Amino acid sequence: MKAIVTVMLKTGVLDPQGKAIGQALVGLGFSGVGEVRAGKVLEIELAETDPVAARAQAEEMARKLLANMVIESFRVEVA
Amino acid sequence: MKAIVTVMLKTGVLDPQGKAIGQALVGLGFSGVGEVRAGKVLEIELAETDPVAARAQAEEMARKLLANMVIESFRVEVA
């Protein structure tokens, strides 16, 4: 199965990369641009075939390696 | 509306970051880890209220700034 782990900075944590992208979009002439938040996404191929077990494994990966739980949160999709 | 733009390296483009993460996961004892691909995700608040127009605007942002179309592909979700 494929697990997609999306890691974002928690709400309230300053996101200078997102802010810079937002300013660049405005500079390019895009209007109506509000807050921009930048994060990372990991697509992980897993040998596990059970969706529940695959999700549990991906969540453990996120907690142990992929996300810094002090300042980041994550969500997992399994497909 | 909120647009979520996910930018990934195209298939076939070497992804050293993904490879390093995959090796780290194996090193941590995770089994059954196949290919890992790393990408970025941008969550953009848009003033636009029409989903079709918001998606079109986010796609234009991706083509102009967020993705390098030579080596990266993107997908847009609107919520």
ipTM of predicted complex: 0.92
Specify whether the CB–CB gap between B18 and B37 falls below 8 A: yes
Average pLDDT over residues A42-46: 98
Alpha-carbon span B36 to B18, nearest angstrom: 5
Residues B17-36 have pLDDT tens digits of 999 999 999 999 999 999 99
Judged by a CB distance cut-off of 8 A, whether residue B31 touches chain A is: yes
Residues of B in contact with A39 (CB under 8 A): 40-43
Average pLDDT over residues B66-77: 98
Reported pTM:
0.93
Q: What radius of gyration, in Å, describes the C-alpha atoms of chain A?
A: 16
Residues of A in contact with B42 (CB under 8 A): 18, 21, 36-39
